[in-house]
Amino acid sequence: MSVRETAAPDAIPAAHADTRYEMVVGLEVHVQLLTRTKAFCLCATNFGAPPNSNVCPVCLGLPGALPVLNERVVDLALRAATALECRLHETSVFARKNYFYPDLPKGYQISQYDRPLATEGHLAIENAAGEATSAVRITRIHIEEDAGKSIHDRFAGASAIDLNRAGVPLIEIVTEPDLRSAAAAGAYLRTLKQLLEYLEVSDVNMEEGSLRVDANVSARPVGAATLGTKTELKNLNSFSAVERALDAEFARQCDLLDRGQRVVQQTMLWDAGSSTVRPARSKEESHDYRYFPDPDLPPLVVSADRIAQIRRHLPELPAARRARYRSAFGLNAYDSEVLTASKSLGDYFEDAVRAHNDPKTVANWVMGEVRAALNASKREIDQFPVRPADLAELLDLLARDTVSGTAAKRIFALMIESGRGAAEIAQREGLLQVRDDTALRDWIEQVVVEHETEATRCAKGERKLLGVLVGFVMKKSKGRADPRRVNQLLAERLGV
């Protein structure tokens, strides 16, 4: 097709398009599985190894080399399929997906075609209140191997091939065209990513390509029952790229339909720089893969026992954990969502609650101070120097009024810096709350002298100045005075 036909659309207001057309989206997500070795050979899968160092005759496709299935791949794929409530098929078949590309040394990818591992699942999507509002149907989940990587931007005038990724195990999770907006697609992807992270089937690292998304999108007049012609969006390397690309492609299609033109079924590439889509060259979208069963691999048979075993060992999933935080800890929907955002943050929170049994206070600290410190240091919770028991020790001091709220925040900062315990720091830095009346009266006398006007007015009945004077005493004590006792003693002193 000509470039003109698929050029960027004239700017049309999205709202205009929205009222007349409905967006229909289905997603294909490739997930790199968390295995130490590749799908059909013993090469390592580690990201960032020197180019072409993790290769062997099998993944290079040398003549006579035979693939042997890594059983860990099957376990992880089954775990994902079980959590997505799919129908698991006792027998599935590996097929060869044939195409030529320089980063595919065998000339085919081992995949599954007409007999995939699992079909007919679904994933529930929750709203902000933690209620499941919709379910996206999963069409299929199949196992396949990854291709190598072509590198076009490293050497002037030449492309390079790195085959470390060739043969790395993937699952592809395909949805029905159930999504109706870019935001819904984003919500599905975030929910899916979190689920996969909880299941520990993938490191879900998008920057390293562990999670890759292709989107099929079409537009149809609102109220129409049949689907419009779809295009496939590729080159989407973040969830926000998926959302923006869907909106751009939908607007382009609406514009074509408005002008009475037809949408051509083709692959579109997202260009994040210009926020536009452009058609892929036809070479990049050959669909005639001539699948046939791989004669080197027997059908994959999974026993009912194995499936039952997988089911028994499923971890608590994000939705169940959020529900438990609401019911067992009395947290609201928002707090439950934030604290379960990653499995490790939830584990941290629960370990701290085990040591300091006040879920609401622990939640506030984890969501506030802990997360702020993580953001500031760009660290993950696993590497955070203040461990749950350390945080609990600090919150114990705070709960017993041994340290003030202000002092606790200071101590927390020093705990991160020094790795020392809360009590030790409080002692060392003189941050223990002072309740000794002699010391408190001493500070009060100084403040009464230094702020004579306020003290006199307060004594004459302007009681609201008491708080101001308490503030001065707190400042003088560098936050160590017990504010309640200061309040009492100061009121006595001024006779109010």
Select from 41, 78, 397, 444 the one that contacts Zn ion (CB under 5 A). Answer: 41
Of the candidates 412, 437, 440, the one whose C-alpha atom is nearest the C-alpha of residue 426 is 412
Pattern 47-66, binding to Zn ion, x per CB under 5 A?
---------x-xx-------
* CB nearer Zn ion, residue 73 or residue 486: 73
CA distances from 304 to 80, 318, 430 (A): 16, 26, 64
Count CB-CB contacts under 10 A for residue 410: 17
Minimum CB separation from Zn ion for residue 55, in Å?
A: 6
* CB nearer Zn ion, residue 61 or residue 421: 61
* CB nearer Zn ion, residue 41 or residue 398: 41
* CB nearer Zn ion, residue 41 or residue 77: 41
Tally helices (H) and strands (E) across the chain.
Answer: 18, 16
Kindly state whether residue 174 participates in binding Zn ion, applying the rule CB under 5 A.
no
Minimum CB separation from Zn ion for residue 68, in Å?
A: 11
CB 68 within 8 A of CB 40: yes
Binding region for Zn ion (CB under 5 A) out of 24-32, 38-46, 82-90, 199-207: 38-46
Binding region for Zn ion (CB under 5 A) out of 41-49, 110-118, 211-219, 311-319: 41-49
* CB nearer Zn ion, residue 73 or residue 426: 73
CB 151 within 8 A of CB 162: yes
Minimum CB separation from Zn ion for residue 58, in Å?
A: 5
CA–CA separation, 73 vs 82, rounded Å? 14
Count CB-CB contacts under 10 A for residue 288: 7
Element (H, E) at 338: helix 333-339
CB 233 within 8 A of CB 272: no
Select from 31, 43, 73, 174 the one that contacts Zn ion (CB under 5 A). Answer: 43
Task: For residue 136, report the phi and psi dihedrals to the nearest 5 degrees.
Answer: -95, 125
* CB nearer Zn ion, residue 70 or residue 235: 70
Kindly state whether residue 362 participates in binding Zn ion, applying the rule CB under 5 A.
no
Count CB-CB contacts under 10 A for residue 346: 23
Task: For residue 203, report the phi and psi dihedrals to the nearest 5 degrees.
Answer: -85, 0
Minimum CB separation from Zn ion for residue 106, in Å?
A: 11
* CB nearer Zn ion, residue 59 or residue 470: 59
* CB nearer Zn ion, residue 59 or residue 407: 59
Minimum CB separation from Zn ion for residue 51, in Å?
A: 14
Binding footprint of Zn ion, residue count (CB under 5 A): 5
Minimum CB separation from Zn ion for residue 43, in Å?
A: 3
Query: Buried b vs exposed e over 108-122: b needs ≥16 C-beta within 10 Å?
Result: bbbbbbebbbbbebb
Binding region for Zn ion (CB under 5 A) out of 36-44, 127-135, 214-222, 360-368: 36-44
Task: Give the single-character DSSP code of 284.
Answer: G
- Interface ranges with Zn ion (CB under 5 A): 41, 43, 56, 58-59
